[in-house]
């Protein structure tokens, strides 16, 4: 599903690469947690996957699409196949919950009828029934993140990238979001989650990839990862 082969990324004239010869293979329906300290290269890795950045060298293939042969005009189509959730939610502030989620379908050219059928189901899935007409500023952090997740999964992407989705949330809401991601993974979506939260990493018992100074320092299979508090 996701394949990175000896990928290096160096920004500008910097001599130190943000990522150095990273190789990673994520299988379909897998739930992978990416951990690492600030500056380890997690965000760069996600930016490469969403094609916000181009690698300096190496090969990236996501969902069968080889990024080497991807033209700029096809990047929006690629992004429609990948769901992305951000730490700061990135919702449209002037649009309601319903409109924020529907937006993801509208840009894909879906009909109004399809949108009317799909959006309420996803709102129900993320537990926001009754909040359809609320604007983002009227919601709690946890609710905003649910909207962001609903928007990311409404097009039923094969891959969901969640970049620190619990970073701005309290423990209770963090767990709600993690459970929601597990549920989405259970329905067959590959999930790539980055987090600093050791408790979540330990409790989830999933495959954990550790990045440090732009390199993968460990790749531990499901259930074998154990890390003390504050170490991740």
Partner 1 sequence: MARKLDAKSFAQKKRGRRRWLTFIRMCRYGVNNFSRNAWLTIAATAVMTITLLIVFITLASRSTLVNSIDEIRDKVDMSVYLITDVEDSSVYVIEDGLRNLESVTKVDYVSPEQARENFAKENSSDPTTLNALNEAVNKFPGTLRIKLVDINDTTELEEFVKNDPTVQENIDKNREPSFAGERRAAIQNIGKTVDFADKVGLGASVVFITISSLIVFNTIRMAIFNRKDEIEMMKLIGADKSFIRGPFIVEAVVYGFIAALIATGLGFAALYSTKGKLLDYGIAVSPTIDFVITYIGFVLLGMILLGAIIGVVSSLLATRRYLKI
> Which residues in this chain contact partner 1 in the complex, by CB under 8 A?
50-52, 72, 75-81, 84, 90-95, 103-104, 106-109, 111-112, 151-152
Rounded CA separation 2/106 (Å): 26
Q: Phi and psi dihedrals of 146, rounded to 5?
A: -65, -40
CB of 199 to partner 1, least distance (A): 28
Which of 125/200 has CB closer to partner 1? 125
Rounded CA separation 160/81 (Å): 9
Which of 93/130 has CB closer to partner 1? 93
What lies within 8 Å, CB to CB, of 157 at 6+ separation is: 80, 81, 82, 83, 189
Bridge-based pairing state of the strands 207-212 and 31-35: parallel
Q: What DSSP designation does 50 have? A: T
Which of 95/158 has CB closer to partner 1? 95
**What does the DSSP assignment read for 93-162?**
TTS-HHHHHHHHHHTTT--HHHHHHHHHHHHHHTT-TT-TT--GGGS-HHHHHHHHHHHHHTT--SEEEE
CB of 230 to partner 1, least distance (A): 31
User: How many C-beta atoms lie closer than 10 Å to residue 26's C-beta?
Assistant: 21
CB of 101 to partner 1, least distance (A): 11
What lies within 8 Å, CB to CB, of 230 at 6+ separation is: 198
CB of 8 to partner 1, least distance (A): 20
Which of 21/90 has CB closer to partner 1? 90
Which of 86/225 has CB closer to partner 1? 86
CB of 84 to partner 1, least distance (A): 6
Which of 115/204 has CB closer to partner 1? 115
CB of 217 to partner 1, least distance (A): 28
């Amino acid at each position: 599903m996701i394949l990175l082969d000896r990928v290096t990324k160096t920004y500008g004239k910097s001599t130190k690469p943000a990522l150095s010869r990273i190789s990673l293979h994520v299988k379909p329906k897998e739930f992978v947690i990416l951990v690492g300290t600030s500056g380890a290269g997690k965000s760069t890795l996600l930016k490469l996957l969403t094609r916000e950045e181009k690698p300096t060298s190496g090969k990236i293939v996501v969902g069968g699409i080889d990024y080497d042969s991807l033209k700029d005009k096809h990047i929006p189509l690629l992004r429609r196949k990948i769901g992305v959730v951000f730490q700061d939610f990135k919702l449209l502030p002037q649009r309601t919950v319903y409109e924020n989620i529907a937006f993801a379908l509208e840009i894909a050219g879906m009909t109004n009828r399809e949108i009317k059928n799909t959006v309420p189901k996803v709102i129900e899935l993320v537990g926001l029934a009754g909040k359809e007409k609320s604007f983002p500023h009227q919601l709690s952090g946890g609710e905003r993140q649910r909207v962001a997740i609903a928007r990311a999964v409404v097009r039923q992407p094969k891959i969901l990238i969640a970049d620190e989705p619990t970073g701005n949330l309290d423990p209770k809401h963090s767990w709600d979001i993690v459970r929601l991601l597990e549920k989405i993974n259970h329905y067959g979506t590959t999930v790539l989650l980055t987090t600093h939260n050791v408790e979540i990493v330990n409790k989830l018992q999933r495959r954990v990839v550790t990045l440090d100074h732009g390199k993968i320092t460990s790749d531990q299979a499901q259930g074998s990862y154990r890390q003390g508090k504050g170490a991740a």
